[in-house]
Amino acid sequence: VMFLCYMFSFGVELIVNGNIVTYFVETFDMPQTRASTFGAVFGLLNIVMRSLGGYWSDIYNTKFGITGRLHALFQQTFVMGVMLIVFSTLNPDNSNDGTLLLVLMIWGAFTNACEGACFAVVPYVIPTAVGGVAGITGAGGNMGALLGNALILAFPSKPARNLMFCALGWGAVASSMLVPCLWLPGIGSMFRKATPVESAQELEPAKEVPKMPSQMPGPQPTFISAPQMMGQPGSISYGQPQQMTMTSY
């Protein structure tokens, strides 16, 4: 679930940063300077909105508990997907520069906020393997970028590009619908909290360290003590001074 949410947020951001200017030039017949200015708005939102996405999650955590972070992630991912679908329907016939910029800013804001909300949830997914969960989540961004760029190269026409943005938007909406299924050990999900018995079982401490052989039941090995060994022929005596003969020349 975290992989998919990050794939349709950070992965889509990478796609947009690399192709949005060309998209504006070809679809809206914008001059290069205006298209570059509009495209920069999407990237500049990342300065504040990713942190605000995490802060939004912190506020929900304070008010509703840890499961509030799931609600924040769901809301941000869902709105992000809806706005991407709306953006894919815009063209010069049904929108002007103001409408395009407004939709782009709302979409970009929730895209970047979703990235912060994803990593606000990561530490609770598997508390004993936070690094692994973070790595898998981060890999979703790379996968999303590869998938999107592959679609752009495979379908370079204008209608196909609009359809690609629409498909990515529906993918984001679908990933948001999986957030309620995400179970946090010892905490629960969006609509169901873990019972005390489930919490105790999921947060069970690590097993005891294996006992030493001498502490295990059953026959025990016997060891010969050092004094007994020193009395045997051919054995080396330890702990006793050895007499050494020195010869002068």
pLDDT, one tens digit per residue, over 180-234 is: 888 888 888 888 876 765 555 555 554 555 555 555 555 555 655 555 545 555 4
Place of tokens 């804001």: 109
- Give 25: exposed, middle or buried? Use CB within 10 Å, 0-12, 13-18, 19+: middle
Q: SS3 breakdown of the chain: % helix, strand, coil, rounded to 5?
A: 70, 0, 25
* Residue 199 CB neighbour total at 10 angstroms: 15
Helix (H) and strand (E) counts in the chain: 10, 0
* pTM of the shown model: 0.73
Q: How far is CA 218 from the centre of its chain?
A: 48
The region of weakest confidence among 46-50, 192-196, 244-248 is 244-248
Q: Looking at residue 60, what is its pLDDT?
A: 92
Q: Looking at residue 225, what is its pLDDT?
A: 59
Q: What are residue 184's phi and psi, to 5 degrees?
A: -100, 120
Percent of the chain with pLDDT over 90: 22
Q: Residue 184, SS3?
A: strand
Check if the beta carbon of residue 52 is closer than 8 Å to that of residue 69.
no
Check if the beta carbon of residue 25 is closer than 8 Å to that of residue 159.
no
User: Quick one: average pLDDT of 65-86?
Assistant: 92
Q: What are residue 78's phi and psi, to 5 degrees?
A: -65, -50
How many angstroms separate the CA atoms of 203 and 77, rounded? 29
Q: What are residue 58's phi and psi, to 5 degrees?
A: -65, -40
Predicted confidence (pLDDT) at residue 44 exceeds the cutoff of 60: yes
What pLDDT digit, counting tens, does each position of 121-162 carry? 998 888 888 888 899 998 888 888 888 888 777 777 777 777
Predicted confidence (pLDDT) at residue 76 exceeds the cutoff of 50: yes
Give me the chain's average pLDDT, please: 80
Amino acid letter for position 217:
P
Q: Looking at residue 188, what is its pLDDT?
A: 81
- Alpha-carbon torsion angle 146, 150, 152, 155, nearest 10: -160
* DSSP summary character for residue 85: H
The residues, any chain, with a CB within 8 Å of residue 21's CB and separated by 6 or more, are: 32, 35, 36, 39
The residues, any chain, with a CB within 8 Å of residue 172's CB and separated by 6 or more, are: 8, 9, 12, 77, 78, 80, 81, 84
